A and B are shown apart, each in its own frame.
Chain A
Amino acid sequence: MIEIESIRPVLALLCPLTAAFLILASRNHPNIRESWTMIASVMQFLVVLSMLLIVKDLEGGVITYSIFNMLPGVDLAFKVDAFGLLFAITSASLWILVSSYSIGYMRSLHEHAQTRYYFCFAFAILGAEGVAMSANLLTMFIFYEILTVATYPLVAHDQTEEALFAGRKYLAYLLTSGVFFLAASLITYSLVGTTDFRNGGILTIDAASRSALMVLFVLFLLGFMKSAWMPFHSWLPTAMAAPTPVSALLHAVAVVKAGVFGIVRIVCYIYGVDLMSQLGLGILLASIASFTMITASLFAIAQDNLKRRLAYSTISQLSYILFGVALLKPMGVTGAMLHIPFHGFMKITLFLCAGSIMVASGKKNISELAGIGRIMPFTMFAFTVGAIGMAGAPPACGFVSKWFLCMGTLEAENLALLAVILISSLLDVVYFFPIIYIAFFGKPKEAELTNGGKREIKEASPFMVIPLTITAIFSMVFCVPNPISNVIITLAKLAVSGLGGV
Chain B
Amino acid sequence: MLLVEQFPVLIVTTGVFAGYTILIAGLVNRKSCAYIFLSVVFSHLIMSLFILHHVLTVGTIHYWLGGWRPPWGIEYVVDALNAYILVIVLFLSLMAGLYAKRYEEHKLEERKHVTYFTLFQLLVAGLCGVVVTGDVFNMYVLSEIVALTAYALIASPGGRTLKASYNYLVMGSVGICFYLLGIGFLYSVTGTLNMADMRILLPPLYQNRLVFVAYALILVGFSIKMALIPLHTWLPDAHAFAPSEISAMLSGIIIEVYTYAFIRISFSVFTVDFLRLLPIFDIISWIAAIAIIYGSVLAIAQINLKRMLAYSSVSQMGYIMLGVGLSISTRSALWGGLTPALMHILNHALMKGCLFLVAGAFIYKFNAWNITDLRGLGRKMPWTCGAFVLAAISMIGVPPSVGFVTKVYLIFAFVEAGNFIFMAILLLSALLNLVYFWRVIEILYMRPGGEEGHSEHHAEHAAPGKSEEIPLFMLIPVVTLASLCMIMGIVWLTEIPIVGAIPILDNVNKLFGLGAYTP
Contact = CB atoms under 8 A, between A and B. Distances in A.
A68 B494 contact: yes
Given A149-B393, A179-B427, A187-B415, A156 B442 contact: yes
A45 B70 CA distance: 70
B459 A112 contact: yes
Contacts of A113: 461-462
B396 A175 contact: yes
A186 B426 CA distance: 14
Contacts of A69: 494, 497-498
A141 B446 contact: no
B184 to A, nearest CB: 45
B453 interface: no
Contacts of B317: none
| Secondary structure of the A contact surface, majority rule | helix
A145 B399 contact: yes
A167 interface: yes
Contacts, number: 81
Contacts of A160: 455
B431 A112 contact: no
A176 B431 contact: yes
Interface stretch (B18-26, B165-173, B404-412): B404-412
A189 B411 CA distance: 11
B446 A164 contact: yes
A171 B434 contact: yes
A71 interface: yes
A186 B412 contact: yes
B412 A112 contact: no
| Secondary structure of the B contact surface, majority rule | helix
Interface string B433-455: 01000100010011110000001
Contacts of A110: 459
Given A141-B399, A190-B416, A153 B497 contact: no
B408 A182 contact: yes
B495 to A, nearest CB: 9
Interface in A100-159: 110-114, 116, 141-142, 145-146, 149, 153, 156, 159
A171 B392 CA distance: 14
A457 interface: no
A481 interface: no
A453 interface: no
Contact of B399 (A116, A146, A183, A187): A146
B458 interface: yes
B464 A175 contact: no
Interface string B413-431: 0011000000100010011
Contact of A190 (B412, B448, B462): B412
B420 to A, nearest CB: 9
Q: Among B393, B400, B416, find the residue whose CB has the most chain A CB atoms closer than 10 A.
A: B400
Q: Among B393, B462, B498, find the residue whose CB has the most chain A CB atoms closer than 10 A.
A: B462
Contact of B398 (A111, A145, A183): A145
Interface residues of B, number: 34
Contact of B448 (A111, A142, A159): A159
B368 interface: no
A295 to B, nearest CB: 27
Interface in A18-32: 27-28
B434 to A, nearest CB: 5
B399 A167 contact: no
B411 A153 contact: no
A199 to B, nearest CB: 25
B86 interface: no
A76 interface: yes
A171 B427 CA distance: 15
A182 B407 contact: yes
A483 interface: no
Contacts of A164: 442, 446-447
A153 B445 contact: yes
A114 B459 CA distance: 11
A76 to B, nearest CB: 7
Interface residues of A, number: 38
A156 B446 contact: yes
A186 B459 contact: no
A347 to B, nearest CB: 27
B434 A175 contact: yes
Nearest to B461: A112
Contacts of A116: 445
Contacts of B400: 142
Contacts of B393: 149
Nearest to A28: B464
B399 A142 contact: yes
Interface in A66-82: 68-72, 76
Interface string B452-485: 0001001101101000000000000000000000
A365 to B, nearest CB: 22
A295 B119 CA distance: 68
Interface in B246-305: none
B493 interface: yes
Given A112-B459, A190-B412, A71 B334 contact: yes
Nearest to B454: A159
Contact of B415 (A71, A76, A172, A186): A186
Contact of B494 (A70, A142, A146, A172): A70
A113 B396 CA distance: 25
Contacts of B493: 68, 70, 76
Contacts of A28: 464
Contact of B431 (A70, A71, A156, A175): A175
A8 interface: no
A115 B405 CA distance: 31
Contacts of B438: 168, 171
B306 to A, nearest CB: 24
Contacts of B461: 112-113
B378 to A, nearest CB: 9
Contacts of B446: 153, 156, 159, 164, 167
A421 B84 CA distance: 62
A318 B416 CA distance: 36
Given A112-B462, A171-B438, A190-B415, 17 more contacts: A28-B464, A68-B494, A70-B493, A70-B496, A71-B334, A76-B493, A112-B458, A112-B459, A113-B462, A141-B399, A164-B442, A164-B446, A164-B447, A175-B431, A175-B434, A183-B427, A187-B415
User: When A and B form their complex, which 5 residue pairs have the shortest distance between CB atoms, in order from nearest?
Assistant: A112-B462, A142-B399, A112-B458, A69-B497, A179-B427
8 contacts: A27-B464, A68-B494, A71-B334, A110-B459, A112-B461, A167-B442, A175-B430, A175-B431
